[in-house]
């Protein structure tokens, strides 16, 4: 009899070419995404005088360093212009398809891949970006790699990896109105810690996960890395297949039907074992915001920040003191009493059309008390949002409607939070200086960011949604 397997085991076995005595396996890579930061790897190829091994399986995007405000055809910052020019030159030299600034499909790599149907169930996907775990939402085995590994994949279309321990995180029950995928994943990270899934491959399961849209699952898997995981994934289902049908790079016609039949087997067998299991109750999850300098520093919006004086563990107390000092928050302060200076809606975590609609549902007919920027995850999403009139809602509320790209998430493209400013943000990281030197970041869902914009402070979105279509 065949041993029961979980989805992680199945995907690993399907891509393992050989295994060394030290436990390292050589894996075949189905999709390789590159961006401006991949110039180091292309430089390695130039040094050795070798081509990209499988250019048809590599896809480039311009996202991390592109400005989302001002001219993109004539980028004022020469360093940013050079980074964009390099990815254009490198991909052209090696015959790699690029979704560049002149392409109407340009956007963030982790948005463009699923949107174009390049990300498919059962594929092994890598990219020189930690949030490559996003693509696991469609049933792919996807993880971020380092610069030297990017070069190895470009040269060989393979990568050496050690099989990670397997973890299943189940969230059952029904999420309450106003609770989004971002609240679920922040609750998971707060529960298990920022190192709670270190080195693990996670399968997200349970009725609350299956109830999420594909956009919600993308948010969930995107932030699996913030719990220390190697990757996160959701088994594909009818919702996945419906999302992919008709996508430009997805199979068509009879080939799609055959693919669905194959994809349907990508699920965890009954009695399959995991190295670790965690279960949460969706009914107990409320809208969440972070207060500190790690994604695990997350609490329900009706909570108060911790007081180091009440912490018996001295190491933990020192961490709390440092985080609160950096964030400029008094111990024990209620979250809803924390004022914000600006807001940001965007990033590979929360910049899809569902995210923009959620924020617009709160902002419609209201005015933001603080400045802010909204950046769609791709040019196609931006176009769709404008067709739906979402841009007018943001603009009428007093927010800026930018171009697509990583924007204010990472602080390397000119979109920065000023030193000492506090930003309510839909991004995935709140580390010190993540959005700019001295920037103070509070992570939350798009609807919660919109609520903070309207209130001028961290706020519970649920009363603002009363009587509104979400």
139 part of a folded domain: yes
Residues 334 and 440 in one domain: yes
pLDDT of 1 reads 53
Q: Which domain holds residue 197?
A: 166-236+269-284
CATH of the domain at 338: 3.30.499.10
Assess whether 280 and 335 both reside in one domain: no
User: Among 176, 184, 273, 259, which residue's Cα sits nearest to residue 223?
Assistant: 184
Residue 199 lies in a domain: yes
Identify whether 18 is part of a domain: yes
Q: Are residues 256 and 279 in the same domain?
A: no
Indicate if 453 and 317 belong to the same structural domain.
yes
Phi, psi of 373 (to 5 degrees): -130, 135
Query: 136 and 204 in one domain?
Result: no
Residue 470 lies in a domain: no
Evaluate whether residue 1 is within a structural domain. no
Q: Are residues 130 and 256 in the same domain?
A: yes
Are 205 and 301 members of one domain?
A: no
H/E stretch holding 461: none
Which residue do the tokens 């076995």 mark?
Answer: 13
Same domain flag for 212 and 154? no
Give 107-117 pLDDT, tens digit per residue.
Answer: 999 999 999 99
pLDDT of amino acid 378: 98
Looking at residue 72, its pLDDT comes to 87
Query: Do 343 and 378 share a structural domain?
Result: yes
pLDDT reported for residue 414: 87
Which of 104, 28, 285, 306 has the alpha carbon at shortest distance from 182?
285
**447, 452, 454, 455: CA torsion to nearest 10:** 140
Ranges of the chain with pLDDT below 70: 1, 470
Same domain for 220 and 126? no
417, 436 Cβ separation under 8 angstroms: yes
Phi, psi of 222 (to 5 degrees): -55, -40
User: How big is the chain by its Cα radius of gyration, in Å?
Assistant: 22
**Domain membership flag for residue 134:** yes
Whether residue 152 is found in the same domain as residue 207: no
- The reply to whether 2 falls in a domain is no
**Where do we find the tokens 């529960």?**
191
Domain count, the chain: 3
Residues 158 and 307 in one domain: no
Q: Residue 449's CB: how many other CB atoms inside 10 A? A: 35
CATH number of the domain encompassing residue 221: 3.40.1060.10
Q: What is the pLDDT of residue 71?
A: 86
The Cα–Cα gap between 159 and 154 comes to 10
pLDDT in tens, 154-181: 999 999 999 999 999 999 999 999 999 9
């Amino acid at each position: 009899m065949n041993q029961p397997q979980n989805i992680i085991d199945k995907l690993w076995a399907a891509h393992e070419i050989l295994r060394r005595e030290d436990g390292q396996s050589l894996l075949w890579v189905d999709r390789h995404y590159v961006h401006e930061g991949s110039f180091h790897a292309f430089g390695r190829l130039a040094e050795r005088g070798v081509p990209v091994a499988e250019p048809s399986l590599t896809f480039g995007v311009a996202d991390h360093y592109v400005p989302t405000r001002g001219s993109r055809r004539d980028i004022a910052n020469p360093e940013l212009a050079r980074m964009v020019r390099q990815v254009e030159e490198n991909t052209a030299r090696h015959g790699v398809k690029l979704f560049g600034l002149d392409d109407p499909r340009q956007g963030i790599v982790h948005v463009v891949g699923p949107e174009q149907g390049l990300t498919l169930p059962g594929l092994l996907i890598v990219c020189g970006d930690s949030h490559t775990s996003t693509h696991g939402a469609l049933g792919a085995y996807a993880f971020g790699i380092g610069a030297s590994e990017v070069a190895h994949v470009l040269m060989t279309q393979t990568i050496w990896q050690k099989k990670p321990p397997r973890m299943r995180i189940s969230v059952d029950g029904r999420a309450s109105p106003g609770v989004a995928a971002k609240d679920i994943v922040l609750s998971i990270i707060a529960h298990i810690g920022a190192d709670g899934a270190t080195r693990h491959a996670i399968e997200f399961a349970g009725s609350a996960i299956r109830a999420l849209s594909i956009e919600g699952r993308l948010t969930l898997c995107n932030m699996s890395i913030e719990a220390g995981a190697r990757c996160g994934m959701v088994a594909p289902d009818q919702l996945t297949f419906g999302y992919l049908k008709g996508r430009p790079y997805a199979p068509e016609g009879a080939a799609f039907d055959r693919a669905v039949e194959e994809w349907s087997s990508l699920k965890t067998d009954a009695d399959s074992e995991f190295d670790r299991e965690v279960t949460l109750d969706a009914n107990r999850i409320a809208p969440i915001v972070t207060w500190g300098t790690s994604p695990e520093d997350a609490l329900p919006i009706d909570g108060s920040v911790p007081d180091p004086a009440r912490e018996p563990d001295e190491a933990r107390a020192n961490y709390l003191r440092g985080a609160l000092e950096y964030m400029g928050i008094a111990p024990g302060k209620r979250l809803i009493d924390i004022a914000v200076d600006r807001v940001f809606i965007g990033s590979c975590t929360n910049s899809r059309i569902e995210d923009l609609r959620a924020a617009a549902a709160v902002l419609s007919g209201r005015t933001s008390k603080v400045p802010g920027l909204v950046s769609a995850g791709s040019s196609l999403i931006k176009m769709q949002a404008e067709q739906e009139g979402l841009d007018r809602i943001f603009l009428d509320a007093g927010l800026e409607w930018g171009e697509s790209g990583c924007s204010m998430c990472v602080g390397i493209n000119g979109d920065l939070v000023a030193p000492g400013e506090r930003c309510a943000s839909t991004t995935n990281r709140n580390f010190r200086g993540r959005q700019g030197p001295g920037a103070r970041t509070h992570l939350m869902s798009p609807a919660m960011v919109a609520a903070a914009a309207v209130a001028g402070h961290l706020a519970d979105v649920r009363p603002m949604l009363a009587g509104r279509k979400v």
